[in-house]
Structure 1
Amino acid sequence: MPVSIKALPLLLASLLAWISLNSQATTPEPERQEEIQATDTTSQRQLLQKARLAIQRDDKKQLKQLKALLSDYPLAPYIDYWAIGRYLRQLPLVEVDRFLSHNQNTALGDWMRIRLLKELGRQGRFKTYLKYYQPEKHRRAALRCYHADALSRHGDKEKANQLINELWLVGRSQAEECDPVFARWMRSGGLTQEKSWARHLLALKEDNPELATYIARKMEPPFKRKATLLREVHKSPKLLLNYSRFLQAPEQNRDLILHGLHRLAQKEASIAEEAWRRYSASILFSDSEQAEMLRHLARQFARQDDIHGLLNLTNNQAIRDERSIEWLARQSLRKLDWEQVAYWIDRLPPKRQQRDRWLYWKARSLVELYGNSQSGAASMLYGKAARERSYYGFLAADALGQNYSFVHRPAPITPVEVQKIAQRAGLQRARELQAIGELFHARREWNYATRGMDHGELLAAGKVASAWGWYHKSIQSVLAADYLDDLELRFPLAFADIVQSVSAQVGRQSAPLEPYMIYAVARQESHFSHDAKSSSGALGLMQLLPSTARATARRSGVRYRRSWDLLSPKTNIALGSFYLSTLLHRFDNNRFLAAAAYNAGPTRVAKWLKETRQRLPHDVWIETIPYSETRTYVQNVLAYTVIYAYRSGTKLQLLRANEASSKL
């Protein structure tokens, strides 16, 4: 007999028992009942697959029988969703309306409405489209374009024109569904030369010259000539150095000059700065234009490693760009110029100076400059930083000889609150979808179910996710709730048996690798999402590229045949850990160099080491890693390693003796 939704919390109780930290309640379900429920759930999943086959065969009789058997199953609404979707081109609106009525405020209801709107738009059923479209929910460009078309034909034409203008004024190509409404708008005179120019400029700002060329074809000769010149400047910004040419009509060329100067600065900031001085002497740019250009110049000087150019700019202009000031502070660190380090930190906004990073470095600079004479001021700054559970907090605590501040405070959520959240239909559907391998839909159901939750509900959802082994959703939930002190949820001991086993195996075959660092890398890479995929093609918990996995598998003896094997936690952790151990071996058992190499590649790390020539202390080397992503990555991995040791009942220093004493 099928399991009812009301009975499911009893099954959850055993999985959520660990949450009852101070509760004396025990699960009333006997083991036999759990076995029966598990068997029934398995049967229901099998029946669900039969229902999908019945839909494909159009076997309405069998489908009706299966629906009756699955009426209490969490995924029962999916049967109607799949069945209606199969015939949606025929627009069975009576069935769709019934489905939408029964599934209001659910993920499935919203997805069905979106599918219906796409079909109505494709078929040009715009009057009906207005009945189903919900402006506050449907923000996809394709649906908005259909909406604009529907309004222009059967609704508020003024509102339609306003919407079309918004859709037009973007620097990228819009969805093809926008083409018909744009064409009708142009034929009716809605596209002015000014609107063509505005989009042409936006396209070039987003470095989309193909779209800009297409837009220019719609311009009349005066605008077309100016657009041609703008594209030439976009391609060759040094054309702006012919000052007399562009200053013949300075106001007319204003936006062209600004765009060209931005482009020029990206290639040669020093030349762009001189050009900016020449043009700003003749053109009265607005305060916002001046501020934006100076900020852009400052960042380009920093990106191009032109410290002299940036210093000259800051001497002549009042630069308030925090990123540029921080870059100058790091450049001073790289030169071990502690006076300049302190100088630039003092020029950061007061609120930014109080961040643990800059508290640590200000204290460090005072110690280097004045030794014990400023120990009181330095100790106070170190003390503030040491309150944080972070890389800089741990560094500051080490400087003071103090214990680390972990501040573990479990989320104040009761088992009753957790069970109440776990019973929600959306979360039950998410769990079942995960169980049958529909991971994409499972994530969508979870995200939909949690998006309107308040602080307490999110924390309870985090507990549920942790109990279900959805560690990435557990982490996501506590971050969304902005509750950062429940270390059990933020830093779960995920896949513990695999991690411990792999750590021991790696130690026997290669450089020793603590389980805490494996946890830390997996936490940083994927938040323990075993099916994570990056834009670069990295897969799984420890985000390995298939090429890296193949090479590591040959050396380690780990079984690996195809890229999808990396979605297996056991395979991914084994290969990722062995690869990490090879990096430790290559970089003399230095964990922060190995972490940097894991993120940026060992070749880049070797290059950075060659550039610094063994003259920088460990903390300065890490702080001045050229890639901000790698810098953050290394700092997080070190801090997370300490936190995972703490979670495992072990006291671990942020840095080993060989790491703390190293010069790089």
Structure 2
Amino acid sequence: MFHNKTSLPGHAPPSPGKGFSMKLGFSLGLAIALLGQLMPATAQTNPKPSEKPKQSQPSKAPNQASKPQKPAGAAKASSAAKSGTVQKTKSKSAASAKTKAPAPPAEITRVARPGVKPLLPASLAGLSLVGGVTVAASQSNSIAVAQTGSHVGDDLLIQLREAFVRQDLPEFQRLINQSDQAQLKEHPLYPYAQHWALRQRLSQRPIAEANAEALQREVQRFLARHDNESLAEQLRKTYIEWLADRESWAQLKLEYPKLIFQDEAALQCLFHVARLKQVSAETDSPALIAAQSRALLFAPRPLGSACGRLFNELKQQGQIDQAGLQQRLRLALESNQPGAIRWAAGHLGLAAAEVDRAIEQPEKCLRSNHPAIAQIAWVRLARQDSVDAYRRWRQAEQTSWPSTVRSFIVAQIASISMLRMQAHALDATRDALRDSQALGAAAIEAGVLGSDEALAIMARSALRAKDWDSLQQVIAWMSARGQSEPSWQYWRARAYRQAGDEQAAQALFKELAGQFHFYGQLAAEDLGQSIEIPPRAAKPHEDELKAIAALPGVQRAFKLYQLGLRPEAHREWWVSTKLMSDRQLLAAAELACRRLVLDRCVNTADRTKLEHDFHLRFIMPFREDLEASASRVGLDTAWAYGLIRQESRFLLDAKSSVGAQGLMQIMPTTGRWIANKLGYAAFKTEDLQDMKTNLRFGTFYLRSVFDDLEGSQAMASAAYNAGPNRPRAWRATLPGPVEGAIFAEIIPFSETRDYVKKVLSNAVYYAALQRQEAQSLKKRLGEIAPKATSQSLLP
């Protein structure tokens, strides 16, 4: 449950940082001395797992409303809990050398050690693994798997990592000096200490050229020892940035293709810069590099320093024309970043003083003789007051301006207005479609009406009013990639059906119906099919489980989970499972369930393509306790499970950045309100970490918002995520009754919109597993009618 952060609609929240960006200014001599202690004279190469995955990088639409902050179930505690899908990214197709899997490690006696976070929370210690529906480990514990034990250097490793994250090299050095080097080198995660030390040295600026060659040799030796491992992946990213700052373009060109995950825009841009600097007529040309860089340079987000560098290089070589510069300005306006607007305007040669005035005092520049300055002013005015901007636009439309400028201005007014759920959003969308009618197909590629994200917002304005013709037109303006999104495939199919083109509708419904997500479920029902669980894959054999357990990366991941180092553990797990077959993924998921790393169990099972086990995808731990809490308030347990799966991925100790805690992510303030309602006189915030208390409180609150919103699961799910008053406000803007699927689609907060879809889709599968019968998502979604807004009494 969220208490939302208040922010202007249309302002994107800052993207969370990836990894640890270490910008240190410590003494290089100190770092060299430190690494000398950490690096062994001869290092033994670890066997490398042959299977590696891709990290999920959910992208935020720059023009979408900021994500809400929870009132009782907060922002997802881990990236894994968010990721139901893995985004498509370019990655190296590495040919893995076959290595002999080492024998599983010997059983190590677990010793309670102060400061070391146990692998299993206390409330999980007695959890039964028997029975497919209970936790998912379908074969109980009949196959012995060695457990991760404690090691002498566990506490020290945690302290070293904390010093690394704090960028505290002196403390890092102090810990090393006071430690038993022999014991540290025996620790299974000792390479992490070496890795952190190297990354600290690479992050120091300015680069000490006198020592650069020696550092480079040490880095390359480490990368060779840990090739195709997570440790090498993270170090190589830092190394690529270091090479770019040294302008070592030839070496950068060699290093980038070795990355397992080639999906970070900044690193992609640096690679393309290196190609431009080392261009060879035989293999590369500036025109080819420009074409391959287009998606990076014309995405609806600020470019950042690396991609800005690439943009400048391409412009200097004549590969960015005037149309490209104008498109970059439109994207900067859409993302609403003043710095990016000024940067793009500067490339167009606009006077800085005029640009500043249009940004800061837009109402004074609406009639500018320069269309680009007026364009900035109108979009900035819409950010301030979209109602006033649209009124003024209708009264003072400048027909002398190019149609590309007019179309973009009114399209931005439309998308900003829809984010605010304003009634005129559809009228503005229709105006934009009318003004752009004469533009050709090139205008779509140039994003004249905005990015796919902005067009999606405009499409929702048409969907809210059930204007199927306008919906079709807006979808047609999207890129091929945008049109292929399941959401717009589904709604386009619905529009075809409304227009009487049943053949086209059926074709799209059939394409979606075999997919296990919200739109696949809706499409199946539109085809008259029931939603059922797919046949269960054969159970993993003993040899399959042992093979996964023997992978060094999997062993390191479990050790990292034991120590509470989840980001590092997640990376090890992803790298180890990236190229796994369905059979291997199912075995890895089963193993994770047995180790009670439940979020990895779910996420790994979610990735199979042909063989599926929904008892692993939709695990049901704590079933007796959840059913007791749910039955006490008359709540559907399938819905509760669907919500927990999305909230915390069953992590008992989940805690969000805003303070929400436990399985059902309850905020302390909401917890106190619930405690008062239930008569918990001695309630303390830490009680939310108790599994039984968390389930009792969470189910009580979910039932409360369900009753508060007239028994709508769609609205109650939105309320649990965005607070109880926002769904009321959104409902009040409806022009008439709509099906629940439309209500879910038009939610202006991207996080809440995704949340509602996933919670209810999850609930359908949980109900099918529990009741062994076909389910209907549309029945759960119901119908939602407009109603005057009123203030909820719930927190």
The 3-state SS of whatever aligns with 1:134 is: helix
Kindly indicate whether the alpha-carbon contact (under 8 Å) linking 1:592 and 1:638 is maintained by their aligned counterparts in 2.
no
Matched residue type, 1:217 = G
2:591 corresponding residue in structure 1? 464
1:303 corresponding residue in structure 2? 461
Q: 2-side partners of 1:190 and 1:661: how far apart?
A: 52
1:398 corresponding residue in structure 2? none
1:518 corresponding residue in structure 2? 640
| Residue of 295, 303, 317 corresponding to 1:174 | 303
2:332 corresponding residue in structure 1? 203
2:376 corresponding residue in structure 1? 231
Are 2:709 and 1:555 aligned? no
Q: 1-side partners of 2:276 and 2:243: how far apart?
A: 16
Q: 2-side partners of 1:659 and 1:180: how far apart?
A: 48
Aligned pairs for 1:225-624 (under 5 A) are 225-235=370-380, 239=393, 245-246=399-400, 253-266=402-415, 267=417, 268=424, 269-270=426-427, 273=430, 276-277=433-434, 280=437, 283=438, 285-286=440-441, 289=444, 300=458, 303=461, 307=465, 346=502, 349-354=505-510, 355=513, 357=522, 360=525, 381=528, 385-386=529-530, 388-389=531-532, 406=533, 409-483=536-610, 485-494=612-621, 496=622, 499-501=623-625, 503-504=627-628, 511-513=633-635, 515-530=637-652, 540-556=662-678, 557=680, 561=684, 569=691, 572-583=694-705, 586=708, 594-595=716-717, 597-599=719-721, 601-603=723-725, 622-623=740-741
Percent identity, aligned pairs only?
22
Matched residue type, 2:174 = R
Kindly report the root-mean-square deviation, in angstroms, between the aligned alpha carbons of the 2 structures.
5.6
Q: Which structure 1 residue ranges, 5 or more long, are not aligned?
A: 248-252, 332-339, 363-380, 390-405
Query: 1:480 offset after TM fit, Å?
Result: 1.0
Query: 1:552 offset after TM fit, Å?
Result: 2.3
1:45 corresponding residue in structure 2? 154
1:212 corresponding residue in structure 2? 341
| Residue of 764, 770, 788 corresponding to 1:639 | 764
**TM-score where L is the length of structure 1:** 0.68
Q: 2-side partners of 1:346 and 1:49: how far apart?
A: 60
Matched residue type, 1:246 = S
2:360 corresponding residue in structure 1? none
Matched residue type, 1:76 = Y
Change (3 A) 1:56 1:159: farther
CA deviations 1:72-131 (Å, max 9, x no partner) are x3x232232234345444653333222112111100011122222333444555566556
Q: 1-side partners of 2:721 and 2:233: how far apart?
A: 39
2:225 corresponding residue in structure 1? 102
Aligned pairs for 1:18-167 (under 5 A) are 41-43=150-152, 45-46=154-155, 48=157, 56-57=173-174, 59=176, 64-70=181-187, 73=188, 75-88=189-202, 89=204, 91=212, 92-122=215-245, 129=252, 132-134=255-257, 138-144=262-268, 146-147=270-271, 166=294
Kindly indicate whether the alpha-carbon contact (under 8 Å) linking 1:584 and 1:594 is maintained by their aligned counterparts in 2.
yes
Higher radius of gyration, 1 or 2: 1
Query: 1:542 offset after TM fit, Å?
Result: 2.2
Query: 1:631 offset after TM fit, Å?
Result: 6.1
Query: 1:435 offset after TM fit, Å?
Result: 0.2
Query: 1:598 offset after TM fit, Å?
Result: 3.1
Q: Which structure 2 residue ranges, 5 or more long, are not aligned?
A: 1-100, 110-127, 164-170, 205-210, 356-369, 381-388, 418-423, 514-520, 747-752, 787-795
1:403 corresponding residue in structure 2? none
Q: 1-side partners of 2:731 and 2:239: how far apart?
A: 58
Q: 1-side partners of 2:173 and 2:440: how far apart?
A: 65
Matched residue type, 2:376 = R
Q: 2-side partners of 1:94 and 1:186: how far apart?
A: 35
Matched residue type, 1:544 = I
Query: 1:457 offset after TM fit, Å?
Result: 1.4
Q: 1-side partners of 2:718 and 2:508: how far apart?
A: 26
Kindly indicate whether the alpha-carbon contact (under 8 Å) linking 1:51 and 1:66 is maintained by their aligned counterparts in 2.
no
Change (3 A) 1:540 1:352: farther
Kindly indicate whether the alpha-carbon contact (under 8 Å) linking 1:171 and 1:203 is maintained by their aligned counterparts in 2.
yes
Q: 1-side partners of 2:194 and 2:712: how far apart?
A: 57
Query: 1:303 offset after TM fit, Å?
Result: 1.6
Kindly indicate whether the alpha-carbon contact (under 8 Å) linking 2:137 and 2:590 is maintained by their aligned counterparts in 1.
no
Q: 2-side partners of 1:533 and 1:310: how far apart?
A: 42
Q: 2-side partners of 1:599 and 1:48: how far apart?
A: 36
The 3-state SS of whatever aligns with 2:150 is: helix
Kindly indicate whether the alpha-carbon contact (under 8 Å) linking 1:9 and 1:422 is maintained by their aligned counterparts in 2.
no
The 3-state SS of whatever aligns with 1:111 is: helix
Change (3 A) 1:135 1:79: closer
Kindly indicate whether the alpha-carbon contact (under 8 Å) linking 2:460 and 2:745 is maintained by their aligned counterparts in 1.
no
Q: 2-side partners of 1:482 and 1:41: how far apart?
A: 36
Query: 1:481 offset after TM fit, Å?
Result: 1.0
Q: 1-side partners of 2:508 and 2:317: how far apart?
A: 53
Change (3 A) 1:506 1:135: closer
The 3-state SS of whatever aligns with 1:217 is: helix
Query: 1:66 offset after TM fit, Å?
Result: 1.9
Higher helix share: 1
1:250 corresponding residue in structure 2? none
Q: 1-side partners of 2:733 and 2:175: how far apart?
A: 69
Query: 1:59 offset after TM fit, Å?
Result: 4.6
2:93 corresponding residue in structure 1? none
Kindly indicate whether the alpha-carbon contact (under 8 Å) linking 1:525 and 1:542 is maintained by their aligned counterparts in 2.
yes
Change (3 A) 1:541 1:246: farther
Query: 1:6 offset after TM fit, Å?
Result: 3.0
**TM-score where L is the length of structure 2:** 0.58
Query: 1:349 offset after TM fit, Å?
Result: 1.6
Kindly indicate whether the alpha-carbon contact (under 8 Å) linking 2:654 and 2:661 is maintained by their aligned counterparts in 1.
yes
Change (3 A) 1:286 1:21: closer
